[in-house]
Amino acid sequence: MRNVPPRNLIDVDDVSPSELIGLIDRATAFNQTAPPRDLLAGVPVLNLFFESSTRTATSFTLAEQRVGADVISFAPGASSLGKGETIADTAITLRAIGVRVIVVRHPESGFPKRLSESFDGHVINAGDGTHAHPTQALLDLMTLRDHAGRLEGLKIAIVGDILHSRVARSNLVGMRMLGVDVTLVGPRTLLPDAFAGEGVHIERDLDAVLPHVDAIMMLRIQRERIVSGLLPSLDDYIRRFQLNPARLGRLSKDAVILHPGPYNRGVELTDEVLDDPRSRYVIQVHNGVYVRMAVLEFLINSASVPA
Amino acid sequence: MKTVVRGGRVIDPSLGLDALLDVVIENGFISEIAEHADTAYARVVDATGAIVAPGFIDMHVHLREPGFTHKETIATGAAAAVAGGFTAVACMANTEPALDSATIVADVLRRAEAAGLARVYPIGAVTKARAGIELAPYHLLADAGCVAFSDDGSTVENALVLRNAARYASDLTSIFISHCEDPKLKGDAVMNEGGPSTRLGLPGSPGLAEDIIVARDLLIAEDTGKPWHIAHVSTATSLDLMRWARSRGVRATCEVTPHHLLLLDDRFDTYRADAKVNPPLRAERDREALLAGVRDGTIDVFATDHAPHGLDEKAQLLSEAPVGFSGLEIALGAYAAALPDVPLARMIELHSVNPARILGVPGGSLAVGSVGDVTVFAERPWTVDTRLFHSKGRNTPFDGATFPRRALATIVGGAVVYEHGRVLPRDEALHS
């Protein structure tokens, strides 16, 4: 009998700093040598995506298949949850069907957390509202460490719409756990002062930040921020925060450029940025599969360890 | 019919009274306050070791009827009131249909009379259907029994409409009550804007959303001369604005809830809606200002904003779950927990004397000839158990909390409608 609740990955801090390093190590090992295809043979995994996703859903599905899980994918849309079935009822039903792991994406912050309270199995958050996207943060951390050989003491700038970014929030959690020094850059409407904290600085002037960082993460800017009055125009934003050839020149030669995707060419970055040798976008996406394999293995094994 | 509350410590700030006395109620009114009153043929309430006060009045409750009787009815809400030590409540207009016509108000009063528990004072809407556009018929509503006007739950967004409302109703003594949250600044917020909302990725409402409407409505009060009451203040700035308005001679009062005095915006890590309420629970700086506001006299009234909902409704996602929770049955204890150092006479002012004066309703005093409404309470620790609520709304973030004070008996017009944990309608109480 298990006397500890099953572990989840709702956000990065559901694991300890040493477990976090362990996950990056494991994902790195998977990248070098593929694990046996029956690593998690027959484990029923449900991909439950309430919000459309191309890269994350594909990446999770591939990761699940590479470790031999039984994969079910379901995009509920207006499913039973929309018809008044409670979150708890859904969780109990899915467990009864036999699902052991739910990979869930939902437009509302907190949905995976609520689901995990009633689900007797593992919940992996594949992105909830503006709250968290822990596997994205993991793959970002893996990509950074690949490049720099370490994480502690690295200086990174995250630029753009921090307020609406679950990627930024999860990276903040993970980077603070591992001693990365974070500078957030953006206009005050998209980066409120409340984000400042221990190891987290706020800067409004991108040009002042660029020469001093080991890495820069550009976030996607959505046009709807103009309609909602948070930005005057893309042109004004571009003037202040776009990563372009002029600003590339201010960035250290040894720095790397990250983007969680999907990017908007000509908005937060230009074509030249994507072609720059310092850009790591393709490697990030590539690493995502291994990180997700490592997370699946970690959670399943955590359940079989006697408490 | 005679009722004697015997042997209690009688505290009545309206009389400057604090002594061991018996309170005698005959035919619905206070007839005598004396040492050793004659108890022959009287219904006796033993108040030994307890405090006897003029009946507590909660001037901000939601009774949900008509329209939402799965959440509460006038009868269950009135039962919750007397079980919490309240002899009277003022019920807000956000029913369906809203309290914007004499017919609906008369129906509410009929149901309250039939329940035979707490007195129920309807608060009429400021605008028809609380839509913020057309004025409600204030004089017809006042004739029907409304004691105040409010679109509570919604802020009247259009200042022109609100100004005209206050001007049209300026010959009536009844106050306007404002729920102050700018709908645009609030947006789709589910909690306070601050460190926790930023960290959790939840939309937050800034204190500014409240402050800006408090300032506006106090200016409209000054402009129109209408006496004005600010509901459930939750920010330090709201209190500064209250002080400023009063210094200019504006006739303005305000109330505070138990939850804003005790709880903070740190209760959302579970992403559950138990603590979702409007205005939202704020940060420590605001909470401290509210506690100080009670002590320095800026805050006039304790009011619960009793807002019952079904458990299934509150179990929804944060964005979907309704705002508010039950307050009537925890209030007396919760206020005591929040303000253990405040003298009882001052607590009774906020619970009884001041709401009676502000609403212009009977009560708030034990003077001979006053209405026979009495609250008997004691310093007796107890633990909140929502399963024991008389309210249909079993939601409160205080479930399981231990409070130092509770109501022992509630007397309405001489009828002992609550005692020994039992609620008894007036007709039965008078003949038992």
Per the document, the length of chain B is 432
Question: What's the pTM value of the predicted model, to 2 decimals?
Answer: 0.95
**3-class DSSP assignment, residue A69:** coil
pLDDT in tens, B111-120: 999 999 999 9
Comparing C-alpha atoms, which of A221, A180, A29, A59 is closest to residue A124? Answer: A59
Rounded Cα–Cα distance for residues B106 and B101 (Å): 9
Rounded Cα–Cα distance for residues A221 and B422 (Å): 61
Considering only residues 275 to 314 of chain B, which have any Cβ-Cβ distance to chain A shorter than 8 Å?
A: 312
* Partner residues linked to B301 by β-bridges: B255
Per the document, the length of chain A is 307
**Model pLDDT, residue A80:** 54
pLDDT in tens, A2-40: 557 899 999 999 999 999 999 999 999 999 999 999 999
Residue extents of the structural domains in chain A: 12-133+286-304, 134-285
**Model pLDDT, residue A307:** 40
| Cβ neighbours for A70, distance < 8 A, ≥ 6 positions apart | A42, A43, A44, A45
**Model pLDDT, residue A5:** 83
pLDDT in tens, A279-296: 999 999 999 999 999 999
**3-class DSSP assignment, residue A230:** coil
Residue B432: pLDDT band (50, 70, 90) is low
Helices (H) and strands (E) in chain A, counts: 12, 9
Query: Do A110 and B317 count as a contact with CB atoms less than 8 A apart?
Result: yes
Chain A residue with CA closest to B311: the answer is A86
Query: Do B317 and A194 count as a contact with CB atoms less than 8 A apart?
Result: no
**Model pLDDT, residue A83:** 55
Chain B residues close to A87, C-beta within 8 Å: 315, 317
Please determine, looking at this structure, whether the domain spanning A12-133+286-304 carries the CATH number 3.40.50.1370: yes
Backbone angles phi, psi at B205, to 5 degrees: -105, 125
Dihedral over Cα of A49, A55, A58, A61: its sign? negative
Helix A87-97 / helix A111-118 crossing angle, nearest 10 deg: 60
How many Cβ atoms are within 10 Å of B388's Cβ, its own excluded?
11
DSSP class of A268: T
Comparing C-alpha atoms, which of B258, B257, B254 is closest to residue B241? Answer: B254
The shortest C-alpha distance from B183 to chain A (Å) reads: 14
**Model pLDDT, residue A1:** 45
Rounded Cα–Cα distance for residues A164 and B198 (Å): 10
**Model pLDDT, residue A304:** 60
Q: Which of B22, B107, B217, B305 is catalytic?
A: B305
* Tokens at B352, concatenated: 């009884």
Rounded Cα–Cα distance for residues B69 and B81 (Å): 16
Is a pLDDT exceeding 90 seen at residue A52? no
Rounded Cα–Cα distance for residues B149 and B141 (Å): 9
To test the contact with chain B by mutation, choose from A109, A128, A131, A202 the residue with the greatest count of B C-beta atoms within 10 A, namely A109
Query: Do B201 and A111 count as a contact with CB atoms less than 8 A apart?
Result: no
**Model pLDDT, residue A66:** 97
**3-class DSSP assignment, residue B179:** coil
Is residue A213 within 8 Å of A156, Cβ to Cβ? yes
Chain A contact for B208 (CB, 8 A cutoff): no
Chain B residue with CA closest to A106: the answer is B317
**Model pLDDT, residue A84:** 58
Is residue B222 within 8 Å of B250, Cβ to Cβ? yes
Peptide bond into B279 cis (omega under 30): yes
Out of A88, A110, A130, the one facing B271 most closely (by C-beta) is A110
Mean pLDDT of B281-305: 98
Considering only residues 187 to 206 of chain B, which have any Cβ-Cβ distance to chain A shorter than 8 Å?
A: 193-195, 197-202
Comparing C-alpha atoms, which of B62, B55, B111, B105 is closest to residue B85? Answer: B55
Query: Do B199 and A169 count as a contact with CB atoms less than 8 A apart?
Result: yes
Report which secondary-structure segment, H or E, holds B91.
strand B86-91
Tell me the pairing of strands B17-26 and B2-12. Answer: antiparallel
**Model pLDDT, residue A292:** 98
* Tokens at A231, concatenated: 């930005």
Query: Do A111 and B319 count as a contact with CB atoms less than 8 A apart?
Result: no
Residue A57: pLDDT band (50, 70, 90) is very high
CA distances from B359 to B38, B58, B59, B174 (A): 34, 11, 8, 7
Query: Do B271 and A114 count as a contact with CB atoms less than 8 A apart?
Result: yes
Rounded Cα–Cα distance for residues B91 and B73 (Å): 11
The shortest C-alpha distance from B308 to chain A (Å) reads: 20
Residue A272 backbone class (left: φ over 0; alpha: ψ -120 to 50; beta: rest): alpha
DSSP class of B352: I
pLDDT in tens, B178-237: 999 999 999 999 999 999 999 999 999 999 999 999 999 999 999 999 999 999 999 999
Rounded Cα–Cα distance for residues A283 and A141 (Å): 12
Q: Does the fold of domain A134-285 match that of domain A12-133+286-304?
A: yes
Chain A residue with CA closest to B187: the answer is A228
Query: Do A110 and B312 count as a contact with CB atoms less than 8 A apart?
Result: no
| Cβ neighbours for A89, distance < 8 A, ≥ 6 positions apart | none
Chain B residue with CA closest to A195: the answer is B198
**3-class DSSP assignment, residue B252:** strand
Rounded Cα–Cα distance for residues A133 and A148 (Å): 23
Mean pLDDT of chain B: 97
Mean pLDDT of A137-150: 97
The structural domains of chain B, ordered by start, are 2-52+371-430 (2.30.40.10), 56-178+211-359 (3.20.20.140)
Active site annotation includes B305 = yes
Please determine, looking at this structure, whether the domain spanning A134-285 carries the CATH number 3.40.50.880: no
Rg (CA), chain A: 20
Q: Which alpha helices (DSSP H) does B231-348 contain, by range?
A: 236-247, 258-262, 284-295, 311-314, 331-338, 344-348
Mean pLDDT of A268-281: 97
**3-class DSSP assignment, residue A302:** helix
* Tokens at A300, concatenated: 């399943």
Helix A281-304 / helix A17-32 crossing angle, nearest 10 deg: 120
Query: Do B272 and A130 count as a contact with CB atoms less than 8 A apart?
Result: no
Mean pLDDT of chain A: 94
Is residue B363 within 8 Å of B404, Cβ to Cβ? no
CA distances from B64 to A250, B87, B91, B96, B156 (A): 63, 19, 9, 8, 20
Is a pLDDT exceeding 70 seen at residue B25? yes
- Reported ipTM: 0.94
How many degrees, rounded to 5, is the angle at CA B225 between CA B215 and CA B227? 75
To test the contact with chain A by mutation, choose from B192, B317, B318, B320 the residue with the greatest count of A C-beta atoms within 10 A, namely B317
Q: Which alpha helices (DSSP H) does B201-264 contain, by range?
A: 207-224, 236-247, 258-262
Is residue A284 within 8 Å of A85, Cβ to Cβ? no
Backbone angles phi, psi at A75, to 5 degrees: -105, 95
Rounded Cα–Cα distance for residues A249 and A266 (Å): 17
Residue A87: pLDDT band (50, 70, 90) is confident
How many Cβ atoms are within 10 Å of B180's Cβ, its own excluded?
26
Query: Do B200 and A109 count as a contact with CB atoms less than 8 A apart?
Result: yes
Chain B residues close to A92, C-beta within 8 Å: none
Burial of A97 (C-beta count, 10 Å sphere; 0-12/13-18/19+) = exposed
CA distances from B53 to B345, B350, B367 (A): 9, 12, 11
Residue A120: pLDDT band (50, 70, 90) is very high
How many Cβ atoms are within 10 Å of A25's Cβ, its own excluded?
13
Out of B197, B202, B317, the one facing A114 most closely (by C-beta) is B317
Of A83-97, A113-127, A279-293, B42-56, minimum mean pLDDT range: A83-97
